Chains A and B, each alone.
Chain A
Amino acid sequence: MGRYVARRLLQMIPVFIGSTLLIFVMVNVMGDPIAGLCGERACDPATAAQLKREFGLDKPLWQQYATYMGNLFTGDFGTAFNGQKVTELMGSAFPVTIRLTIVAILFEIVIGVTLGVVTGLRRGRPIDTGVLLGTLVVISVPTFVTGLLLQLLLGIKWQWISPSVRYGSFDELIVPGLVLASVSLAYVTRLTRTSIAENKRSDYVRTAVAKGLPARRVVVRHLLRNSLIPVVTFIGADIGALMGGAIVTERIFNIHGVGFQLYQGILRQNTQTVVGFVTVLVLVFLVANLLVDLLYAVLDPRIRYA
């Protein structure tokens, strides 16, 4: 186990460097990082040169990347072009997005798993077909459409919620969390359903039934425990994706989280903000994936990592 973790950590290094370098190059090569500094018009050459020197942009790209990463490991994420520390921006943005992600994950677990169990146990019945079609529709409707429609219905037509989020507290994030979770929720339902339906025919379930256990206990203690293994791994891997994918949801509901900061940073070509946030997101994604793999071994004793 220890050796496996060590090997996985080592494997994470090239992926981490590769993906951050990719974003770094994209932001730097594709855009002009100082273009946003002189307002609407272009910078005059002298100012541009001075700004470039100031931010170290006259150095070769690999050197900029190395300097940036070096600073990063001492906790210095740099300063946004408006003078605000990137770490400060993160301090205000990440708690909101983490709360949003928690709400989304809760929806996936509660609704997704429940629907999956119900349909998996009643395969082929009308409720199964209905839920399956429902998940197809949810998967098909892009998140921004779901978000705008829910905002229109709940926020404007019926006025159940405020159409825009002010403080980012849990109660405000219920509907945005549902929107963010929607597609994954459909996948969790389908995954649980397949898994339950598959395991329902297995020997240990037949044994449990033959022992005369009540149906409830068979489902919860025997069937569900084993069927949830792939679901847990999916949800774990989804954490990173949800945090990175919150851009659209945060924009619709005006949530000032990670996605909002990234969107602003990209539009204003604020290199430090974008690269800093993406680096953290990539780290979250990689660590979540590693934890999921380890969790897999804990949940399924048949899997042993050498």
Chain B
Amino acid sequence: MPEQPHEPEGAIAGTGMGAAMDLGVSEAETLEGTAGGPGGTGPAGRPHSLWSDAWRDLRRNPVFIVSALVIVFLVFISLWPAAIASGSPLKCDLAKAQDGAGPGAPFGYDGQGCNVYTRTVYGARTSVTVGVLATLGVAVVGSVLGALAGYFGGVWDSVLSRITDIFFAIPVVLGGLVLLSVVTSNTVWPVIGFMVLLGWPQISRIARGSVITVKQNDYVQAARALGASDSRILLRHIAPNAVAPVIVVATIALGTYIALEATLSYLGVGLKPPSVSWGIDISAASPYVRNAPHALLWPSGALALTVLAFIMLGDAVRDALDPKLR
């Protein structure tokens, strides 16, 4: 008897951050996938793990290849932005304000006369840093708490479920505005901290459900009968088999965290100038949009492409890891 039958959908609607819904794009390769799975054997009689099957699927999925290439490129320019952009993103010349494309500035200049191309390239670092670190934090906190609740059950489980309910009832952007509006530090850390604070319930729900499913398997009972300790059962037997849904949701969430950072910066509470972030640039460009739409369009395009790449990656990973959804 489902107590809250709509739970997964409600969770997403409640946070606006999640995207755990069916994002399935590719339905190809059905034959390949059914042969594998945990404990299954491939045509050669060799046992295939879920992971090697997934990797084989991923390598053939064009969606995965394209999004992975985009992400590799983004990581590269966030590590070495100077490799493709000359000059500093903070060097602006008011005389060139709102100018169109010129030599050394293929994207033109913004309202302050800053080079839009350089700022867009340097903006990738903020987005990638926030996305990756927030996702790592959320995944670690969420999966540890969720796994413990799912494994041990009882009072701790009920308490955790109520706590996640509380967090889901607070709209994310609103919580961000309230918490971050008083922060004066202009680094990525408060933004990341906020995302971990409000994001972990999403992962903990997934991890809890996944652990509860895996816990009932025979091999877990067998391990317990052999006298394995709780920590050994959790780490060696349950975790490897329960982690797939967490990875999928976390990858998609990475994209949404990048969008959230830009949204908060756009609202003026995330990063603030002189930090370089696409959200800041989009916000700064919006008053000049009549005369210099390029200053709005380039960072917006970069942001959309980045988020799209991570969501598509998550999508492809889900297709590969979850044979049921094919």
| A residues at B contact (CB < 8 Å) | 11, 14-16, 18-19, 22-23, 26-27, 30-31, 123-124, 132-133, 136-137, 139-145, 148-149, 151-152, 156, 183-184, 187, 190-191, 193-194, 230, 233-234, 236-238, 240-241, 244-245, 247-248, 251, 262-263, 266-267, 269, 274, 278, 281-282, 285-286, 289, 292-293, 296, 303-306
Contacts and interface: CB of A to CB of B under 8 A. Distances in A.
Contact size range, B: 35 or more
5 contacts: A144-B266, A241-B171, A247-B171, A267-B181, A285-B169
Given A14-B162, A140-B308, A247-B267, A30 B289 contact: no
Given A23-B178, A26-B178, A230-B9, A15 B169 contact: yes
Contacts of B177: 247, 262-263, 266
A281 B286 contact: no
Given A26-B179, A144-B266, A190-B23, A18 B162 contact: yes
Given A141-B307, A184-B13, A247-B267, A278 B290 contact: no
Contacts of A247: 171, 173-174, 177, 267
Given A136-B308, A156-B290, A247-B173, A142 B267 contact: no
Contacts of B183: 30
Given A266-B181, A304-B1, A148 B282 contact: yes
Contacts of A16: 169
Closest 10 CB pairs of A and B: A244-B171, A140-B308, A18-B166, A233-B6, A237-B10, A142-B259, A234-B9, A19-B169, A241-B13, A31-B182
Looking at chain B's contact residues, the main secondary structure is helix
B214 to A, nearest CB: 24
Interface in B1-41: 1-2, 4-6, 9-10, 12-16, 19, 21-25, 27
B255 interface: yes
B315 interface: yes
B13 A237 contact: yes
A26 B194 CA distance: 12
Contacts of B175: 23, 26
B170 interface: yes
Contacts of A289: 4, 6, 10
A259 to B, nearest CB: 8
A14 B164 CA distance: 12
Interface string B273-289: 00000000010001001
Among B16, B171, B255, B315, the one with the most A-chain Cβ atoms within 10 Å of its Cβ is B171
B296 interface: yes
Contact of A306 (B1, B14, B268, B293): B1
B149 interface: no
Nearest to A184: B13
